[in-house]
């Protein structure tokens, strides 16, 4: 249920009346703004909710804020909703929900056994818990994950995948019509690499025995060759640049010493900064060169690799040629592409399965390739395209550089594909909104893309770039292995699960009655806990900030982690078995939730805020708000759980029944909330 909306509704008529009296003076905030100032109390000592609109009304109304607050709280009808209304400080209105209302809402959620699907196929279902349908049901397309299928998924894919999946689920849960689409990279240069590599470095037998590892090996091999060739090409340039940079250091040094006797502080400061910049440049170049030399030395030790470096000196061009042959429809390349592609899908599907992520569609770049030429033709007809330096460009007033939709050599770009994708989605899915869950470095691309889409006439669809920060390593730099490679996603999952298994085993051993799990049970729990920790570590972060990936912290499995939330679910189950009952029995028992103390009250208050928390998530597409909510809810639960006067088992029969119902609602809310984050629970830990 929507709590905030209910409270705001009660205040609306009173505020409307007040606003009409300031009509002449048009400077008063809007009704909506004022209602927005009713929100959960920041500090529980002030009550449950607070209204802060009296202060900004003081000037337009020509009254003291406290008087306004007084008047409003005397007039507003909060019958059945609040038990206490008071004015405090300069004019804050503090509200306390009536216990009866709290119980009534909680009972409604508890009694709602309807289930809602979280995927299009309806395979994942969760409890509705009294959550109401949206005011307007929208068609929402969520575009996320979008890896290149030709190479193994790495740590960079995790944020898009996990955030997108969660947003899609929240949208669906709140009643929207959602289509998830994985816009796979299955048509780009990476395939040129694999095709070339398959022909030149492929091992037929290995491929037949296990295609995926062999393809992966081929990709990595070509990648390594290209890297080395690039280094060979760039090394002289860098060395030259190093020389220049060193000269610059010397010049800067001289300039600074020349300035020293003068008293021009600003000039000295600028000179010092120049020097520092130059020195930084030198050290960066030195490191770059050092690393490259190291890599080349290593390569030199590998005889066959060195031979390949010589034989395939023009690898870069060759790869591009294979790619454009593929795009041009050359049968031999197309055939190979069809042969290879399913294996690439297998590879990423295994990761998705592990992460419990599914898509309604996986329409990759290849799906759009024959729509690109017609799209450019359409842009031309619309008069949006202009040729510049041989390329077909759409120029935009807001940007210096144009959006290029066709290269000088006639090839299309990802901008072209993205436009064709919008075209297709609008035509076939008629979305009100499309969410692109893609990292922040592409924000300018999306700004341009959306601007062009609007010029093309797609004004009715709201296009949103849900951007997120980079995954950093412990050193504060983009997350890489010690060797400088990107970190494979699958290995990361394995590590997280392995770590979770350690903890599960250790705690199981330490149990009072001795270990209770079999090896298989431990493994299953570790899988849920490990994957949950990995996802939650990411989701609980504000998506816009760079995310420092600290493996040890993530698998600490205590504090604000998925494990903590999962643990609360397991503990509730512990209560049920102690009480020798089941959730089904509790629900059919039709017990009434009622309040006997403040810990119960705080827990209930948190429980009935579930929908409000979910709606907050969608305001700015921020799953971390759901994490915050679930964490706070769980804290309230454990406070309740640890209190001597909140024992469930052994309380008076009707109190026990009420508390069992509360616990059931708690367990279902946590389970549902975690499901909306794409995280599972286990009955015992």
Partner RNA sequence: GCCCCGGUAGCUCAGCUGGAUAGAGCAACUGACUUCUAAUCAGUAGGUCGCAGGUUCGAAUCCUGCUCGGGGUACCA
Nearer to RNA, 90 or 122 (CB): 90
Of residues 327-356, those binding RNA (CB under 7 A): none
- How near is the Cβ of 599 to RNA at its closest, in Å? 9
Distances (CA, A) of 245 to 162, 251, 288, 422: 43, 10, 14, 46
Q: Which is nearer to RNA, 26 or 476 (CB)?
A: 476
Does 407 bind RNA (CB under 7 A)? Our answer is yes
Which residues fall within 8 angstroms of residue 228, CB to CB, at 6 or more apart? 295, 296, 299, 309
CB-nearer residue toward RNA: 379 or 685: 685
Question: Site for RNA (CB under 7 A): which residue of 166, 563, 658, 672?
Answer: 563
Cα 590 from Cα 493, distance rounded (Å): 42
Q: Does position 484 bind RNA by CB under 7 A?
A: no
CA distance 24 to 87: 28
Q: Which of residues 147-186 bind RNA (CB under 7 A)?
A: 148, 185
From 207-215, 311-319, 429-437, 570-578, span contacting RNA (CB under 7 A):
570-578
According to CB under 7 A, which residues from 627 to 666 bind RNA?
628, 631, 635, 638-639, 641-644, 646-649
- CA 458 – CA 454 distance, rounded (Å): 5
Residues forming a β-bridge with 177: 139
685 lines the binding site for RNA (CB under 7 A): yes
CB-wise, 435 or 562, nearer to RNA?
A: 562
Task: Report in angstroms how near the CB of residue 331 gets to RNA at its nearest.
Answer: 22
For RNA, give the closer residue by CB, 130 or 623.
623
Beta-bridged to residue 305, according to DSSP, are none
Contact residue for RNA among 58, 206, 256, 289 (CB under 7 A): 58
Q: Using CB under 7 A, which residues numbered 261 to 280 contact RNA? A: 273
Q: Are 537 and 554 in contact (CB under 8 A)?
A: yes
d(CA 110, CA 666): 9
The span from the CA of 374 to the CA of 384, in Å, is: 14
Q: Which of 192, 402, 431, 623 binds RNA (CB under 7 A)?
A: 402
Q: Choose which of 389, 397, 483, 580 interacts with RNA (CB under 7 A).
A: 389
Instruction: Candidates 132-140, 222-230, 456-464, 618-626: pick the segment binding RNA (CB under 7 A).
Output: 618-626
604 binds RNA (CB under 7 A): no
Per CB under 7 A, does 541 bind RNA? yes
Nearer to RNA, 312 or 543 (CB): 543
- Burial string for 137-158 (b: 16+ CB within 10 Å, else e) reads eebbbbbbbbbbbbbbbbbbbb
- Measured at the CA of 488, the angle between CA 484 and CA 494, to 5 degrees, comes to 130
Confirm or reject binding of residue 519 to RNA (CB under 7 A): no
Whether 222 contacts 315, CB under 8 Å: yes
401 binds RNA (CB under 7 A): yes
For RNA, which is the closer residue by CB, 133 or 401? 401
DSSP 431: -
Both tokens of 264, joined, read 């021009």
To RNA, the closest distance from the beta carbon of 635 in angstroms equals 5
Does 611 bind RNA (CB under 7 A)? Our answer is: no
What CA–CA distance (Å, rounded) separates 291 from 309? 18
Q: Where are the alpha helices (DSSP H) in 21-134?
A: 31-36, 54-61, 65-75, 99-111
Contact 127, 672 (CB under 8 A): yes
Query: Residues with Cβ < 8 Å from 64, sequence gap 6 or more?
Result: 58, 91
Of positions 181, 347, 365, 527, contacts RNA by CB under 7 A: 365
Per-residue mark of binding to RNA, 59-98 (x: CB under 7 A):
x-----x----------------------xxx-x-x----
Using CB under 7 A as the binding rule, the residues of this chain from 411 to 450 that contact RNA are 411, 413-414, 440-445
Stretch that binds RNA, among 72-80, 215-223, 239-247, 468-476 (CB under 7 A): 468-476
H-assigned helices in 510-597: 519-539, 551-554, 562-578, 583-588
Q: Please count the other Cβ atoms lying within 10 Å of the Cβ belonging to residue 668.
A: 24
Q: In angstroms, rounded to a whole number, what is the distance separating the alpha carbons of residues 448 and 431? A: 20
Q: Which stretch binds RNA (CB under 7 A): 174-182, 297-305, 488-496, 615-623?
A: 615-623
Q: Which two tokens stand for residue 39?
A: 């929100």
**CA angle centred on 631, ends 625 and 637, rounded to 5°:** 140
The closest alpha carbon to 635, from 529, 532, 537, 564, belongs to 564
Binding status of residue 625 toward RNA by CB under 7 A: yes
* Site track 15-54 with RNA (rule: CB under 7 A), x = hit: ------------------x--xx---xxx-xx---x-x--
* Contact residue for RNA among 535, 571, 594, 668 (CB under 7 A): 571
Q: How far is the CB of 287 from RNA (least distance, A)?
A: 13
Q: Please, what is the minimum distance in Å from the beta carbon of residue 674 to RNA?
A: 14
Map residues 284-313 to x or -, x wherever contact with RNA holds by CB under 7 A.
------------------------------
What phi and psi values does residue 474 have, to the nearest 5 degrees?
-65, -20
Sole binder of RNA in the list 71, 189, 295, 521 (CB under 7 A) = 189
């Amino acid at each position: 249920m929507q709590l905030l909306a209910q409270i705001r509704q009660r205040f609306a008529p009173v505020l409307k009346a007040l606003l009409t009296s300031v009509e002449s003076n048009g400077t008063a905030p809007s009704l909506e703004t004022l209602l927005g100032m009713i929100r959960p109390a920041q500090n529980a000592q002030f009550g449950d909710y607070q209204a802060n609109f009296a202060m900004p009304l003081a000037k337009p109304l020509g009254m003291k804020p406290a008087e306004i607050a007084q008047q409003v709280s005397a007039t507003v009808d909060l019958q059945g909703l609040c038990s206490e209304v008071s004015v405090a400080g300069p004019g804050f209105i503090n509200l306390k929900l009536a216990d009866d209302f709290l119980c009534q809402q909680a009972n409604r959620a508890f009694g709602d056994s309807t289930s809602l699907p979280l995927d299009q196929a309806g395979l994942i279902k969760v409890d509705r818990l009294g959550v109401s349908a949206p005011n307007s049901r929208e068609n929402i397309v969520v575009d996320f994950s979008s890896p290149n299928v030709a190479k193994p998924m790495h740590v960079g894919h995790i944020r898009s995948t996990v955030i997108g999946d969660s947003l899609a689920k929240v949208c669906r849960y709140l009643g929207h019509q959602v289509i998830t689409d994985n816009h796979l990279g299955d048509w780009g240069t990476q395939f040129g690499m694999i095709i070339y590599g398959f022909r030149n470095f492929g091992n037929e037998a290995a491929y037949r025995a296990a295609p995926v590892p062999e393809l992966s090996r081929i990709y990595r091999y070509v990648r390594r060759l290209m890297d080395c060739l690039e280094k060979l090409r760039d090394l002289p340039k860098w060395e030259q640049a190093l020389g220049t940079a060193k000269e610059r250091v010397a010049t800067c040094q001289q300039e600074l010493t020349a300035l020293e006797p003068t008293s021009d502080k600003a000039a000295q400061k600028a000179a010092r900064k120049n020097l520092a910049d130059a020195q930084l440049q030198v050290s960066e170049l030195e490191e770059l060169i050092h690393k490259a030399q190291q890599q080349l030395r290593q390569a030199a030790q590998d005889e066959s690799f060195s031979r390949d470096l010589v034989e395939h000196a023009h690898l870069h061009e060759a790869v591009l040629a294979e790619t454009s042959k593929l795009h041009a429809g050359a049968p031999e390349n197309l055939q190979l592409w069809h042969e290879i592609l399913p294996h690439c899908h297998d590879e990423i599907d295994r990761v998705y399965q592990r992460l419990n992520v599914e898509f309604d569609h996986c329409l990759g770049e290849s799906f759009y390739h024959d729509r690109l030429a017609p799209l450019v033709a359409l842009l031309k007809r619309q008069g949006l395209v202009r040729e510049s330096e041989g390329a077909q460009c759409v120029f935009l007033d807001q940007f210096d550089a144009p959006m290029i939709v066709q290269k000088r050599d006639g090839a299309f770009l990802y901008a072209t594909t993205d436009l064709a994708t919008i075209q297709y989605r609008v035509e076939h899915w008629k979305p009100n909104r499309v969410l692109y869950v893609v990292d922040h470095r592409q924000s300018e691309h999306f700004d341009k893309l959306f601007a062009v889409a609007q010029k093309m006439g797609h004004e009715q669809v709201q296009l949103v770039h849900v951007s997120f920060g980079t995954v950093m390593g412990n050193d504060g730099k983009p997350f890489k292995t010690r060797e400088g490679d990107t970190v494979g996603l699958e290995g990361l999952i394995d590590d997280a699960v392995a770590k979770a298994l350690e903890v599960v085993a250790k705690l199981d051993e330490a149990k009072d009655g001795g270990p209770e799990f079999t090896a298989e049970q431990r493994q299953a729990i570790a899988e849920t806990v490990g994957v949950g920790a990995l996802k939650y570590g990411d989701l609980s972060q504000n998506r816009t900030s760079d995310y420092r990936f600290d493996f040890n912290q993530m698998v600490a499995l205590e504090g604000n982690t998925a494990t903590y939330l999962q643990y609360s679910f397991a503990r509730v189950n512990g209560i049920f078995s102690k009480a020798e009952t089941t959730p089904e029995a509790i629900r059919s028992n039709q017990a009434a939730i009622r309040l006997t103390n403040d810990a119960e009250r705080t827990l209930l208050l948190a429980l009935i805020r579930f929908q409000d928390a979910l709606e907050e998530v969608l305001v700015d597409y921020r799953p971390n708000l759901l994490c915050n909510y679930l964490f706070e809810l769980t804290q309230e639960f454990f406070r309740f759980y640890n209190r001597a006067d909140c024992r469930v088992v052994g309380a008076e029969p009707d109190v026990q029944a009420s508390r069992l119902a509360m616990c059931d609602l708690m367990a279902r809310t946590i389970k549902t909330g975690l499901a909306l984050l794409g995280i599972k629970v286990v009955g015992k830990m």
